[in-house]
Chains A and B, each alone.
Chain A
């Protein structure tokens, strides 16, 4: 079982729609959860982090965490073509290592 699992996609949504990206993790002791966006040929860029159960909103982005289900999600409202990228879920269990999933490719069609 992979430590952090994501659907590789691609996930295709029309412009203006809500994109929903999901991630599960295996270590129940995980404490910190991150979403990174990576454009093709570029390095990952942090867009959201969440530490507590529930929802956290930042502009068009909402991160959701359910520790009981070991599940993290990212919602992107009013999706734009510029949101087309690979979204990486990352998990830290309180130590030195942040573990990344393989990423979900998102395409937003104009």
Chain B
């Protein structure tokens, strides 16, 4: 079975632009979470979607938005890019929305560079 797939793997944008990152979860997983990882730090929680509904949002500005589609794939959108948005964006899928079956399985990430 395929794992979590993310696209694109690398991208370069300039300040003020918009970016869309995509994620397909493991087959059978209904939950997708998005994390931002800056070099030298742990992943920071951005969003979780479960059964196509937003179940949680981290401490990120409204420039960040996401959605989940009927096939459980997901998109993360970031508007008005800032230099500080440069990071590895990780998508993780899980069977449930959290708790005892909340093991996260990560994709390889999308590395965003903002110039």
Contact = CB atoms under 8 A, between A and B. Distances in A.
A92 interface: yes
Among the interface residues B88, B90, B104, B108, which one has the most CB atoms of the partner chain A within 10 A?
Answer: B104
Nearest to B97: A96
Given A34-B103, A44-B106, A46-B103, A96 B43 contact: no
Contacts of B25: none
B64 interface: no
Interface residues of A, number: 24
Interface residues on B, range: 20 to 34
A100 B43 contact: yes
A99 interface: yes
Contact of B45 (A31, A51, A98, A103): A98
Nearest to B54: A96
B56 interface: yes
Interface in A41-81: 42-46, 49, 51
Interface of A: 4, 31-32, 34, 42-46, 49, 51, 88, 90, 92, 94-103
24 contacts: A4-B42, A32-B98, A32-B99, A42-B108, A43-B88, A43-B109, A44-B90, A45-B106, A46-B103, A46-B105, A88-B42, A90-B104, A92-B99, A95-B97, A96-B33, A96-B55, A96-B97, A97-B45, A97-B48, A97-B98, A98-B104, A99-B45, A100-B42, A100-B45
